[in-house]
């Protein structure tokens, strides 16, 4: 079975309706007496119906075109119900709380995407005033292209089917929440749309995943949150 995007479906639907109008709609006739006032009335009614058909078909075509452009122009975006872009990450998702991953949602995955990669890191380690490293908190790859997000507190047991886990900088898989030693740190959630499935062996780290991604990134969506220890 061939999978069609909404845009492709809109094009085929519109084309079908145009053909239907040309080959079927154009043959609509009204029975009645010919000649005289009755015949003229039937001709007027037929003309009005033709005009109505054309008007409705035109409206439908404009609607389909609008749907097509709305989908194609939708930007790739990543959000969380737990915090806004640039906002503070609640403590429940950090080492001072339950240390569970926040829920994530995304939209506008570009056409041709075969898989998604999620990398979360902190470029302000260990001190935002004198950063010396980028600390990796989470690595996921081969996320199915049709996935729309991740639930709160997701683990290896309930990741989208086919999703693979990479190593974070604690040398373990899974989410490692914010735990800044000093100052307010920024945490970048980066979602990449790829034109291939990486299918890397084992549990690679961020560097190996990024190396395999080179030349295959269709688009990137970024969500940034902050955290400072209480």
Sheet order of strands, 133-144 included: 164-165, 133-144, 115-125, 184-194, 217-228
Residues 6+ apart with CB under 8 A from 214: none
pLDDT at position 29: 47
Q: Which domain holds residue 40?
A: 6-72
- One domain, residues 219 and 140: yes
pLDDT digits (tens, 9 = 90+) for 50-98: 777 777 666 566 555 554 444 455 799 999 999 999 999 999 999 999 9
Mean residue pLDDT across the chain: 85
The answer to whether 197 and 177 are in contact (CB under 8 A) is: no
- One domain, residues 94 and 208: yes
- One domain, residues 58 and 106: no
- One domain, residues 57 and 145: no
- One domain, residues 56 and 138: no
pLDDT digits (tens, 9 = 90+) for 126-164: 999 999 999 999 999 999 999 999 999 999 999 999 999
Q: Residue 1 falls within a domain, yes or no?
A: no
Q: What single string gives the DSSP state of each residue in the chain?
A: -----HHHHHHHHHHHHHHHHHHTGGG-------SHHHHHHHHHHHHHHHHHHHHHHHHHHHHHHHHHHHHHTPPPEEE-SS--TTSBPPGGGSTTTT--PPPEEEE-PPTT--EEEEEEEEEEES-TTS--EEEEEEEEEEEETT--EE-TT--TTSSPTT-EE-B-TTSSBS------SSSEEEEEEEEEEESS----SS---HHHHHHHHTT-EEEEEEEEEEEE--
Q: Is the pLDDT of residue 16 over 80?
A: no
pLDDT digits (tens, 9 = 90+) for 25-46: 444 444 444 445 556 666 777 7
Of 72, 94, 114, the last residue of a domain is 72
pLDDT at position 89: 98
**Span 174-199, average pLDDT:** 98
Model confidence band, residue 170 (pLDDT cutoffs 50, 70, 90)? very high
Q: Is the pLDDT of residue 181 over 70?
A: yes
**Span 200-214, average pLDDT:** 98
Q: How many domains does the chain have?
A: 2
- One domain, residues 64 and 163: no
Q: Residue 190 falls within a domain, yes or no?
A: yes
pLDDT at position 3: 44
pLDDT at position 51: 77
Q: Is the pLDDT of residue 1 over 70?
A: no
Of 39, 72, 105, the last residue of a domain is 72
- One domain, residues 62 and 88: no
């Amino acid at each position: 079975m061939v999978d069609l995007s909404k845009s492709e479906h809109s094009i085929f639907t519109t084309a079908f309706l145009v053909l239907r109008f040309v080959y079927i709609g154009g043959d609509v006739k009204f029975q009645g007496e010919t000649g005289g006032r009755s015949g003229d009335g039937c001709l007027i009614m037929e003309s009005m119906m033709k005009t109505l058909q054309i008007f409705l078909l035109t409206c439908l075509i404009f609607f389909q075109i609008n749907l097509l452009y709305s989908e194609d122009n939708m930007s790739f975006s990543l959000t969380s119900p737990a915090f806004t872009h640039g906002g503070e990450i609640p403590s429940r998702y950090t080492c001072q709380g339950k240390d569970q991953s926040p829920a994530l949602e995304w939209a506008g995955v570009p056409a041709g995407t075969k898989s998604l990669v999620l990398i979360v890191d902190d470029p302000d380690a260990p001190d935002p005033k004198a950063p010396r490293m980028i600390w990796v908190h989470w690595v996921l790859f081969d996320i199915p292209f049709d996935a729309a997000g991740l639930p709160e507190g997701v683990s290896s047991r309930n990741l989208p089917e086919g999703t693979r886990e990479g190593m974070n900088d604690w040398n373990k898989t899974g989410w490692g929440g914010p735990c800044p030693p000093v100052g307010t740190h920024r945490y970048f959630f980066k979602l990449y749309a790829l034109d291939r499935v990486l299918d890397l062996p084992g549990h690679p780290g961020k560097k190996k995943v990024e190396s395999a991604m080179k030349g295959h990134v269709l688009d990137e969506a970024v969500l940034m949150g902050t955290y400072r220890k209480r």
